[in-house]
Structure 1
Amino acid sequence: MRGPFARALTGALGLITAAAGVTAGAVPAAADSVVVGGSPTAITDAPWVVALSSRDRFGGTRAGQFCGGVVVAPTKVLTAAHCLGREVLGGEPWQLRDFSVIAGRAALRGQGGQEVRIADTWVNPGYDPTTNAGDLAVLTLAASLPQSYVIQVARPGDPAESPGTAAEVYGWGDTTGNGSYASSLRSADVQVLPDESCERAYPGGFGGVSYRRDSMLCAGDPRGGRDACQGDSGGPLVARGLLVGLVSWGSGCGQAENPGVYTRVSSVLPERF
């Protein structure tokens, strides 16, 4: 089994090489079908989804998009902690002069919506980049977004986290597993899977990363073909109208035997946020 990888775009050439966000020696696998297996989504149907952007770092082809995020308060956006790592940003977040979120816009280079600068960042102190545990960060915006953009976060033990629950994952990432990145927002229908599914897929050992049910959530399609992929990191997994997960890591894209792994937001997000 190929080693697991984070699902962010890394480096200024990440959009070209399609090897972004992959740990050493690993490359994205081809998906079973053409987020992967998703369809275009209107931003009015998912106003909470935002794109993290830095044109200085990632160029203007995709408006600088490299990760996703989700609005949980007018000035607060959640994303994956690994999206703020030096290997992704090439330095510290505050060193990016144009670090911002693109909100209210489905097409990255389209019209409408707004781009809001990021004033501050907070990375979960419990985040472990080796194991991917606690993969969550909070962005504080320099200006408020409309209250209508906000999505509520599931509480611990909410039925929305139960195995078999229908869910949707959103993003602008790779749609095939081969570097075909979306220019407009897409979503894919998946379902919350039993923790045992990811424990079997990612048991650890031999240098592999293991699934941890205390801070991670397992989701996908038991038949394969629907999944998050590179460039989707930090984007939302939504079930029953609630935020239950953030795209974190996985092996390949859309493979039935390797479901997507998400940050379990209810167990990682501090109450003060």
Structure 2
Amino acid sequence: MYLQGQAQLRYDPCDLGVLYFDKVTDILWKGTVNLGLYPYLNDAQIEINFKDPLIFYGFSQQSKMIVNNRWREYILVPKGKLPTRYHFYFSINSTVAVEKPTVTKFTLNNVLLCGEHIKKNSTPTDSRQPGNFQCGRRSLNHSELVTVRADAKAGDWPWHVAVLIRDLQNSSIAMYQCGGNIVSRTAVLTAGHCLFTGNKTVPTNRLIIQAGTSNLWDLKEIGRQILTVERVVIHPSYVLEQATSDLAILFVNTLVFTEYVQPICVWGPLYDKRILYGQQAVVAGFGLTEQNVMSDRLRSSYTIVQPDKVCVATAPTLYSSLLNEFTFCAGDGNSGTSPLNGDSGGGLAVAVTHIDDRISWFLRGILSKCVIPQGKKLCDPKYFVVYTDVAPHYGWIHHHIAG
């Protein structure tokens, strides 16, 4: 992952989709209430209690504010038509360094959405019992505070795995190959091209899955699970030069779901990709860094899904041949971040807010192709990357992982 620029810190109390905080500067925070999740709401009373006192600087629109408990408890009432997203700005008023503006209570129109009791009862299970987990959910220890455009912590993206290949001469040695995504207790979804070296398929007995890790070579890292691959299914329509069906499923026996290892939800079966255009998503990987060396640390970044025409305009011949109803492109071209060689097989994850107001992460794309300029061997981070859309292949994926 090519990363340049300042790391981005986001705090999601109770892993909610309706309330989140972004660090703007060393002292300034931007709070956001996503009122667009409630299209039939005519007015809003927002109550937020904080552990530490704040210094308030303003709102995105005229509002009534009631303050209690020495600048720790706030009631905010936007005036006029409700915005899709309501913003407010503040700093933490503390004599000691505080990492984040910890929320102890959050209600919207007197409905409690976040509190200490909710946090204590929102941890994932490590049980092997089927159905005793939810896909796309992270432990609150890892989901409330996440840094992107930086090294990730184990548990931040618990569905991301490393795919390694055993050395031919010494099976105790393995080299990193690609990323992958946990989609069930026994299945990992990756890119089809990750299972080839040159024009030859990698033998199944040489493949290893490393899950629950943020550091490839720290063998003592808590949460790490290492499994051998027992069976491989490559999409029957896979073609090396195309991204249309660049998919493969690796079967293992058996992942234990913990706070460090969890499955991601798979988007589908509906797959109109136009609803993704302009959406923010997250990508992660162990691929090349901006120094053109492989990273031993998992890195993550935000990216933006782009309309096909935006990508085609930058490299008409290349993107016209790769983009169709089964693929899409992503990147923003300005942040100095982009997946590179070695990030293939990793997923593009989209946050979806469910009826309980918490976030579930859905796998929408598998990284397939990048732009390698003529005469070069490495991906160019200035260009957009192309993903295989998993949604059109939802039936194929579930047919195999359910069997």
Identify if the C-alpha distance between structure 1 residues 77 and 247 changes in structure 2 by more than 3 Å, giving closer, same or farther: same
Greater fraction of residues in strand: 2
Match of 1:267 in 2: 392
Identify if the C-alpha distance between structure 1 residues 118 and 160 changes in structure 2 by more than 3 Å, giving closer, same or farther: farther
Task: Deviation per CA, 1:80-136: give whole Å up to 9, x if none.
Answer: 000012418x54332xx4411000111001123110110000000111112232111
Match of 1:99 in 2: 207
Identify if the C-alpha distance between structure 1 residues 158 and 72 changes in structure 2 by more than 3 Å, giving closer, same or farther: farther
Q: What is the rounded CA distance, in whole Å, between the counterparts of 1:246 and 1:232 in structure 2?
A: 10
Match of 1:189 in 2: 302
SS at 1:54 equivalent: strand
Identify if the C-alpha distance between structure 1 residues 159 and 248 changes in structure 2 by more than 3 Å, giving closer, same or farther: closer
Q: What is the rounded CA distance, in whole Å, between the counterparts of 2:215 and 2:274 in structure 1?
A: 29
Identify if the C-alpha distance between structure 1 residues 58 and 225 changes in structure 2 by more than 3 Å, giving closer, same or farther: farther
Q: What is the rounded CA distance, in whole Å, between the counterparts of 1:58 and 1:183 in structure 2?
A: 23
Q: What is the rounded CA distance, in whole Å, between the counterparts of 2:275 and 2:252 in structure 1?
A: 28
- Amino acid aligned to 1:188: S
Identify if the C-alpha distance between structure 1 residues 239 and 184 changes in structure 2 by more than 3 Å, giving closer, same or farther: same
Match of 1:4 in 2: none
Q: What is the rounded CA distance, in whole Å, between the counterparts of 1:204 and 1:159 in structure 2?
A: 21
Identify if the C-alpha distance between structure 1 residues 107 and 216 changes in structure 2 by more than 3 Å, giving closer, same or farther: same
SS at 2:265 equivalent: coil
Match of 1:175 in 2: 289
% identical equivalent positions: 29
- Is the contact between residue 283 and residue 348 of structure 2 (CA under 8 Å) also seen in structure 1? yes
- Amino acid aligned to 2:365: G
Identify if the C-alpha distance between structure 1 residues 159 and 86 changes in structure 2 by more than 3 Å, giving closer, same or farther: closer
Give the Å deviation of 1:142: 2.5
TM-score by length of 2: 0.53
Q: What is the rounded CA distance, in whole Å, between the counterparts of 2:380 and 2:174 in structure 1?
A: 24
Gaps in structure 1 of 5+ consecutive residues: 1-6, 8-30
- Amino acid aligned to 1:92: V
Match of 1:237 in 2: 348
Identify if the C-alpha distance between structure 1 residues 167 and 67 changes in structure 2 by more than 3 Å, giving closer, same or farther: same
Give the Å deviation of 1:249: 0.8
Within 5 Å, give how 1:120-131 maps onto structure 2: 120-131=231-242
- Amino acid aligned to 1:229: L
Give the Å deviation of 1:168: 0.8
Give the Å deviation of 1:170: 0.5
Pairwise CA RMSD: 2.9
Q: 1:137 aligns with which of 243, 248, 253?
A: 248
Match of 1:247 in 2: 367
Q: 2:177 aligns with which of 52, 59, 66?
A: 66
Give the Å deviation of 1:223: 1.8
- Is the contact between residue 93 and residue 121 of structure 1 (CA under 8 Å) also seen in structure 2? no
Match of 1:44 in 2: 155
Q: What is the rounded CA distance, in whole Å, between the counterparts of 1:171 and 1:58 in structure 2?
A: 27
Q: 1:166 aligns with which of 269, 273, 280?
A: 280
Give the Å deviation of 1:175: 1.4
Q: What is the rounded CA distance, in whole Å, between the counterparts of 2:178 and 2:168 in structure 1?
A: 13
Q: 1:154 aligns with which of 244, 256, 267?
A: 267
TM-score by length of 1: 0.76
SS at 1:217 equivalent: strand
- Amino acid aligned to 2:255: S
1:226 aligns with 2:337: yes
- Higher RCO structure, 1 or 2 (CA under 8 Å, sep 6+): 1
Identify if the C-alpha distance between structure 1 residues 152 and 237 changes in structure 2 by more than 3 Å, giving closer, same or farther: same
- Is the contact between residue 58 and residue 64 of structure 1 (CA under 8 Å) also seen in structure 2? no
Identify if the C-alpha distance between structure 1 residues 124 and 39 changes in structure 2 by more than 3 Å, giving closer, same or farther: same
Identify if the C-alpha distance between structure 1 residues 105 and 58 changes in structure 2 by more than 3 Å, giving closer, same or farther: farther
Task: Deviation per CA, 1:48-99: give whole Å up to 9, x if none.
Answer: 0000012415999x952110000011111000000012418x54332xx441
Q: Decide which structure has the larger Cα Rg and report it.
A: 2
- Amino acid aligned to 2:285: G
SS at 1:69 equivalent: strand
Identify if the C-alpha distance between structure 1 residues 235 and 32 changes in structure 2 by more than 3 Å, giving closer, same or farther: closer
Q: What is the rounded CA distance, in whole Å, between the counterparts of 1:65 and 1:151 in structure 2?
A: 22
